[in-house]
Structure 1
């Protein structure tokens, strides 16, 4: 019963977040160090899924303006999906860099991939690729819907690709703050 209550509580929280985003309610806006968020989520994933190789490729500091907890939720959902929907031994790569005025976050895996007919539905609410997947293991079908809604609320884009032969990559692009709005880069001293 505790498990079911927990799942219901999570479902209510997810639906509440989607309703707030659908209503256009503004998110918090602060300077966010994406590299630090990604490092924290990757470290948590390594603990939760020791049978997976989860690697972070973030050679430089990448900062955006946004809602830190919601941006962390994006990373949690993407890395969590890669863990949950791939077999043991799958490698998950998380990369982060700046390109053309955006912060680009990629979560890639070398798992079996997503069927071409399923790719167009991955952001649909309550949709899950495998009809036989149980709610206990498969989740609510809201994870990628939440990712898309949060990314759009940050004026960004999200795309999922899964070429024939396997592997899936989710690419999130978030606008970088203008140079005058960027915080000073920490120099490592305190």
Structure 2
């Protein structure tokens, strides 16, 4: 997925940080959709050239995936609404730039269907990070 994003956005540095594979049980296509939505949002809503970091780790029996950018961030008053269907922070996310306001609502629904959590942190001027936590399977023997 990171390699695919690099093809779509060759002007970006998209880095993957993963020490080892982490296995989860779930719908592979839907989980890929989650990652595509998160990386796609980072590409779409940050200025050209803004680096994006994708990390994967195992922590306490959970798979933790984080997509972080160093873009303009999301205003604090908007953070409570980012998972609402059809909602977009108008200052930085116009229809001219695409999107229906469903991406993060879909991410949340898929993650919850997989018994996971999703949270977002952002500060205006210093970027946004979305963290998805899913139950991990034990490492293969």
Shorter-chain TM-score tier:
over 0.9
Shift of 1:153: 0.1
**Structure 2 portions without partners, runs of 5+:** none
1:66 & 1:45 partners in 2: Cα distance? 22
Pairs within 5 Å for 1:36-185: 41-130=1-90, 133-177=93-137, 179=138, 184=140
Shift of 1:101: 1.1
1:174 & 1:145 partners in 2: Cα distance? 17
Q: Which has the higher helix share?
A: 1
**Count of residue pairs the alignment pairs up:** 141
Q: Rg larger in 1 or in 2?
A: 1
C-alpha RMSD of the superposition: 1.6
- Larger RCO (alpha carbons 8 Å, 6+ apart): 2
1:159 & 1:133 partners in 2: Cα distance? 20
TM-score, with structure 1 as normaliser: 0.70
**Structure 1 portions without partners, runs of 5+:** 1-40, 186-190
Q: Give 3-state SS (helix, strand or coil) of 1:93's partner.
A: strand
